[in-house]
Structure 1
Amino acid sequence: MMNFNKTLFVTSLMIGGIGMAQAQNKPKPEDTEVYTPVPKVVATQQVTIPAPADAIVLFDGKDLSQWVMTEDRSKPAEWTVANGAFTVNKKTGNIETKQSFGNYQLHLEWQVPANISGKGQGRGNSGLFLASIGKGDAGYELQILDSYQNDTYTNGQAASIYKQFVPLANPTRKPGEWQSYDIIWTAPTFNEDQSVKTPARVTVLFNGVLVQNNTELKGPTQYIGQASYKKAHGPSPIKLQSHGDPSEPLSFRNIWIREL
């Protein structure tokens, strides 16, 4: 009986040790956060570009007729339109375009309120998903964040390819001022067996400053773990994120796209 108890005790210790080791090895969000290099701060002016003649206007300052709810694409976008812009509605979730796109040029302007609160990732957090490939936050995310004198991990600041690539510079303007993204997106292509034929690439100008230079993406965005291509897809909607943090919500205006 004593020997049985000893064996049971030793076995319990071994199982407990394995469980603790597995818990310690479980991937965590901070595993993929980096804090260097720190992009150089660059002062900029507001960059507003009217839609070219051949552009598709995704927001004209009047309505969200080109957008739907991500979780239920049969529902029209439920964010708030006022004064030529629209504002994130934290209660309703993400929105995305009705139309799907392959390669494109995109212009989008965004603003965090002058009275923004919070810090780090909890300060004006949203995301522009260059291709939405499912519900929730599935897709390829270009980060939107108040990165004006706001420290966070650098592959999570404004204009980062979230958790993948740090921007080349930090031209973020003060809260209350309008910011702009100008994007050239080259969608990934896939072989018949769903393996990657050519990875996604993106070039981004942030307030007129080059911050992503034909960057080759590792795959769709991952909050935990390393990004990789797991599933083939074709043309996709463009998505805007309702992050749900407690700081005042973001606004957007002057959104247009040219298919390439």
Structure 2
Amino acid sequence: MKINLLSTLACSLLTATSFAQTDFKPEDTEFYSPKPPVVTLKAQVPSDAIVLFDGTNLNQWESNKTTGQPAPWTVENGTLTVKPGTGDIQTKQKFEDFQLHIEWKSPEKIKGEGQGRGNSGIFLQGLYELQVLDNNNNPTYVNGQAGSIYKQRPPLVEVRAEGDNWHRYDVIYKAPRFNKDGMLISKGMVTVLHNGVLVQNNTQIEGATAYIGLPKLEAHGAGPIILQDHGDMVHFRNIWIRPL
């Protein structure tokens, strides 16, 4: 009896659903507002992007050693170059969720091996490092090679530089969320395209980058983009960001 009752109920629901679907008109599932904002491209930069470096100056950046002090790296011929020994630089603005585009190139004079060759990094919210490293036949630990979330997630594939030796990263980042008491609601997630190839696919970030030990996650708000001085004259260009 129970089985028959369940079967009858299931058939009734299926019939009702089928009837409801046939009762729809196409316009019943169409909506016209709110309309998405219009975004155009100028020199491959979205019109709603914040240009962090256009090849002319470091007005959007400051020293990470001393907040408020000018960024001490070199700008020449449209390229931003690490000035070893001067420390990291960071954006004056702070961000949470964003789309980031940044291009980088290893030093002209290659020296060292592994982590000692063409090393820099891009710190999302100032805490989570997307690795920059010369990867032209340069063996190292896979969660520390170019395209990795440093010491956490190796890239899905290794992508080499194109003919001009410039790399480009396109990053979609969702910041971790905490409640008012500082308790974790959700961890950060990141997707990275390296020269147009997917290398991080909605990857969960476990915590702040740590060179020694395991990553730790502490409550925080918006944070800057930091470029790392690791002692190598790594080059950067065409940096823009779209807060999401």
Could you state the TM-score of these two structures normalised by the residue count of structure 2?
A: 0.80
Matched residue, 2:224: 237
Q: Does 1:256 align with 2:237?
A: no
Q: Does 1:221 align with 2:209?
A: yes
The number of equivalent residue pairs is 202
Map of 1:131-170 to 2, 5 A cutoff?
131-132=125-126, 139-170=127-158
Matched residue, 1:187: 175
Deviates more, 1:98-107 or 1:191-200: 191-200
Give the match's secondary structure for 1:171.
coil
Give the match's secondary structure for 1:252.
strand
Give the match's secondary structure for 2:52.
strand
**What is the aligned-residue RMSD (CA, Å)?**
1.4
| Superposed displacement of residue 191, structure 1 | 1.8
Give the match's secondary structure for 1:121.
helix
**Cα distance in 1 between the residues matched to 2:163 and 2:197:** 18
Q: Which runs of 5+ in 2 are unaligned?
A: 1-42
Runs of 4+ in 1 over 2 A off after TM superposition: none
**Cα distance in 1 between the residues matched to 2:164 and 2:229:** 19
Contact map agreement 1:114 1:177 (CA 8 A) in 2: no
| Superposed displacement of residue 192, structure 1 | 2.3
**Cα distance in 2 between the residues matched to 1:55 and 1:114:** 30
**Cα distance in 2 between the residues matched to 1:190 and 1:219:** 13
**Cα distance in 2 between the residues matched to 1:227 and 1:164:** 8
State the one-letter code of the partner of 1:93: G
| Superposed displacement of residue 121, structure 1 | 0.3
Matched residue, 2:118: 124
**Cα distance in 2 between the residues matched to 1:235 and 1:67:** 16
Of 100, 119, 125, which residue of structure 1 is paired with 2:94? 100
Could you list the per-position Cα deviations for residues 156-210 of structure 1 after superposition, in whole angstroms to 9, with x for gaps in the alignment?
A: 0001000000100111217961100000010111122212111000000001100
Contact map agreement 1:168 1:210 (CA 8 A) in 2: yes
**Sequence identity (%):** 54
Matched residue, 2:78: 84
State the one-letter code of the partner of 2:234: L
Q: Does 1:109 align with 2:103?
A: yes
Could you list the per-position Cα deviations for residues 222-248 of structure 1 after superposition, in whole angstroms to 9, with x for gaps in the alignment?
A: 11111121x21111100000012xxx5
Contact map agreement 1:113 1:176 (CA 8 A) in 2: no
Give the match's secondary structure for 1:184.
strand
